[in-house]
Amino acid sequence: MPTIGLHLGHDAGVALTQASGVHVIEAERRLGFRHVCAGNAEFPAAVAGWLAELRDRADEPVTQLAVADYYTRACRVLPPGLVELVEGDVAWTGAGGDAADRVLRRVKSEDWPLARELGEVTVTVVRHHYAHAALAYYTSGASRALVLALDGTGNYTECGMVALGEGSTLTPVLSFTNRNGPRFGLLYEALARRVHGGQFDTGKLLGLAAVGRVRHELLPVLRAMLVPDRVRRAEPDLYDPIDPADLAGTALRYADTWWELDPAAGGYLDGGLADSADDDVVHSLGSIFPDAIRTADGAVLTVGSGHEDPSCQDLAATLQAAVESDLVRLVTGLSRRFPGHDTLCYAGGCALNITANTALAESGLFRRVLVPTACDDSGVALGAALAAAPPADRPRLTGHRGWASAGYAGPALDTGPLGPRHTAELADRRTREIPDPEEFTEAVAALLAAGRCVAWLEGGMETGPRALGHRSLLISPHRPGARRHVSQTIKGREWFRPVAPLCPREEAARYFSGPLDHADAMLFAVRVRTEHSERLAEVRHLDGTARLQTVDAVLQPRLHRLCYALGAHTGLPVLINTSANAGGRPILNSLGAALELLSDTELDAVALPSDGLLVY
């Protein structure tokens, strides 16, 4: 029977899973501002409507509501007993509880309005990182896999989980906490706050990493911050130890206080935080980056702020190098500790790190590394639903196209009714209805060939933070300055942020090299071939890589035709793609919002291929 999932933390949302498919509603795309959590004032009234919407989409009566256990303290719609359950777990985890325990538990629901509105349902609480793992495995199409979830934090300072997928069963075998590491997500958040001002700016930090240079004298310090050397030496199969000579004399300064390396703890703040509450540990390690770093040679780096500061650029590059090295080493150790798996399913916020994902894909450890499109917390609601649902209510996803069932599981584009402003804007524009698909494609290709930027809106909305051709801004890379125009002028993004190329799957090897068999959802980096580096200069990031999405003729037939139609004009069947939004807003999902973007920015046209409608 159908199961609905609910996530109350940041990037909140609801999701439905049943045998016929999945459907996802991300709160930020309904409420119009980023990273919504259940503590936002608009959430309580809205979430009841979203749950009712999913109930009405279900093929049969919904029998279960799965709630991820990580929530904000400001949340006003918690199920009875969840707070007591989590607080009880704090004592249990402190005593060394087993990761295989307490990932799925029932709580009472009769007094909870959100559950009551769904009818006779049971309420199951799902551990945050188990929800990540379930999303990664159950949307992968794999029948056997090593499953890894890594992010900033969940409850109990937990920052990750390892599970083994076998058929319809997903068994957790290992838990990671920020007390011991790996703190990949938390340290990335701390530096993102320092450089860009917010914990959700980790994607900007990844882009900035290509600007700076790796400072090798800083690597040992950052690696000790990621995983204390005490932990490295206790688990040599998962982590490489740090040479004591590279840590001798190192220290971190916070405000006016220097924290020397604690030899017993193998880190800097670790000894002082040993008896601290979970929230204090997460705050100290994830909210505050040091003001200065002293390296083993006695030099002191004063840490600046802002993306133009050279120290911030170098720290971004050096932290990225440390994360990649330690991540590949960790996964190598896990593959040996739990042998016999040729597939890695990977989720959590850390799985948005495209260059680190590429290092895993090119490590040779696995035949496939599979990352869901909503690998961050925007996918937790669906992960919770999949974790709690009976196997019969998890859609069967197979083949290299299976990811799209969950990847495009968002709502259809809202095309009306239009308000007064949008009606007036539409009246002021040229509107063409072109029912013939080939003629429509050619009309859009002609605009692109003329250097225009087009919002291309079709089908179910993408799940997760990346636009994959359903809610995209498209421009041709043959136009000089195309990247600057779409990324900076239209969207108002920083100069170092990358854009992504779209290319037909069968043409990709002509223009790009690298893990092309992983490039279907913009979650891995490839390299532009040298002979095409000049023609594709507008899609290349500063480090020579590209966030490629290969376009499949079966999955994305209209977009596939558009690439070739543009190629007939320019000789290059490649498009620049970025998400259809501006000014820090969520990806849009209505014709009205698209018309606003058309009116308020230098966007040139809006294309609705499913309706044969072109507005410009």
Task: Indicate the pLDDT class of residue 399, thresholds 50, 70 and 90.
Answer: low
Same domain, 585 and 533: yes
Same domain, 381 and 447: no
Q: Where is mean pLDDT largest: 152-161, 414-423, 526-535? A: 526-535
Alpha-carbon torsion, ordered 131, 133, 138, 141, to 10 deg: 160
Query: Which residues fall within 8 angstroms of residue 161, CB to CB, at 6 or more apart?
Result: 99, 127, 129, 130, 132, 133, 148, 149, 172, 174, 175, 176
The pLDDT assigned to 275 comes to 83
464: domain CATH number is 3.90.870.20
DSSP state of 21: E
Tokens of 449: 């060939």
The pLDDT assigned to 95 comes to 44
Cα–Cα distance, 267 to 226 (Å, whole number):
9
Residue 304 has pLDDT above 50, yes or no: yes
* Residue at a domain's end among 411, 440, 474: 411
Arithmetic mean of pLDDT, 402-426: 89
pLDDT digits (tens, 9 = 90+) for 330-386: 999 999 999 999 999 999 999 999 999 999 999 999 999 999 999 999 999 999 999
Same domain, 247 and 321: yes
Same domain, 581 and 496: yes
Tokens of 579: 């998400």
Same domain, 86 and 148: no
For residues 13 and 387, the answer to whether their CB atoms sit within 8 Å is no
Per-residue CA distances from 602 to 66, 199, 328, 491, 492 (Å): 43, 30, 42, 9, 11
The pLDDT assigned to 198 comes to 87
Query: Which residues fall within 8 angstroms of residue 106, CB to CB, at 6 or more apart?
Result: 122, 123, 124, 125
* Residue at a domain's end among 382, 411, 440: 411
Same domain, 197 and 148: yes
Same domain, 228 and 291: yes
pLDDT digits (tens, 9 = 90+) for 450-460: 999 999 999 99
Same domain, 503 and 527: yes
Arithmetic mean of pLDDT, 486-515: 96
* Residue at a domain's end among 381, 411, 441: 411
pLDDT digits (tens, 9 = 90+) for 32-62: 999 999 999 999 999 999 999 999 999 999 9
Q: Are strands 526-528 and 545-546 parallel, antiparallel or unpaired?
A: antiparallel
The pLDDT assigned to 398 comes to 66
Arithmetic mean of pLDDT, 18-24: 96
Domain extent at residue 387: 1-139+372-411
For residues 432 and 381, the answer to whether their CB atoms sit within 8 Å is no
74 exposure class (CB count in 10 Å sphere: 0-12, 13-18, 19+): exposed
Same domain, 462 and 590: yes
Same domain, 224 and 253: yes
Same domain, 399 and 389: yes
pTM of the model: 0.96
Beta bridge partners of residue 7, listed in sequence order: 13
pLDDT digits (tens, 9 = 90+) for 169-218: 999 999 999 999 999 999 999 999 999 998 899 999 999 999 999 999 99
pLDDT digits (tens, 9 = 90+) for 105-134: 988 877 899 998 898 899 999 999 999 999
127: domain CATH number is 3.30.420
Task: State the total domains in the chain.
Answer: 3
Tokens of 520: 């279907």
Mean pLDDT of the chain: 94
Same domain, 135 and 231: no
The pLDDT assigned to 251 comes to 97
Arithmetic mean of pLDDT, 516-539: 96
Which position has the higher pLDDT, 82 or 608? 608
The pLDDT assigned to 116 comes to 87
Signed CA dihedral, 131, 135, 137, 138: sign only:
positive
HEC string of 47-109 equals HHHHHHHHHHHCCCCCCEEEEECCCCCCCCCCCCCHHHHHHHHHHHHHCCCCCCCCCEEEECC
